[in-house]
Amino acid sequence: MALDLDDPIALMLAASSAFVRAGIEAAAYGGLTLGMYGEVRETRDADLAAAGIDAEIARRALDEIGVLVVTAFVDIQFGGCTLTRLSLVGGGQLNTVDLVTPRSPRYATAMLARSVRGSLRGQELRIVSPEDFVILKTLATRDRDLEDARSVLAKQRGRIDEELIEHELAVLSKEITDHDILVRFAKLTKQG
């Protein structure tokens, strides 16, 4: 059966499986993960958080799922992360897999170590922790990212390690000095 590129869950599962087979460490992140930890919002693509990923190896891994994979861009800086976009074309459909890599190798390794196992449609996959979801959204650049993080903080109140988030962001602000991480976090946590 061909992959339905209009189905973001099917795309996430296919990409996650392809990366596992290729030995690539990545964890589900983005709109699909937001639906697990915060308020659901519509999403179309598959976002995965990674550490030190080779775009060509990732592209070849996705080739194995039976669609044409085109590297749109590699390691474009967005705030405290870089983004690699792989476009998938098949059956007259188009979608993307975005690989989000924190610019701090220390944090990227810790983020993957804290990832959790979950399942979608009966298939196991690795997912960023709710704390790291908030941190990654703070490292991003869009106001929508802060809204996503705020949603997770509200929905997970009492179950999320806010001290871990604050500690990681304080350390990251010293490691990534050209992105005002603490100002973004203050904006995120501002009441009213």
Domain CATH number, residue 125: 3.30.460.40
In a domain, 96, yes or no: yes
| Percentage, residues of the chain above pLDDT 90 | 85
In a domain, 2, yes or no: no
- Give this prediction's pTM: 0.95
> Which whole number is the average pLDDT over 110-114?
98
In a domain, 134, yes or no: yes
Q: What tens digit of pLDDT does each residue of 6-52 get?
A: 999 999 999 999 999 999 999 999 999 999 999 988 888 999 999 98
In a domain, 54, yes or no: yes
In a domain, 3, yes or no: no
Q: What tens digit of pLDDT does each residue of 139-155 get?
A: 999 999 999 999 999 99
Measured distance CA(151)–CA(155) in Å, rounded: 6
Residue 158 has pLDDT above 80, yes or no: yes
> What is the model's pLDDT at position 192?
43
- Give me the domain span that covers residue 50: 8-189
- Give the count of domains, the chain: 1
In a domain, 50, yes or no: yes
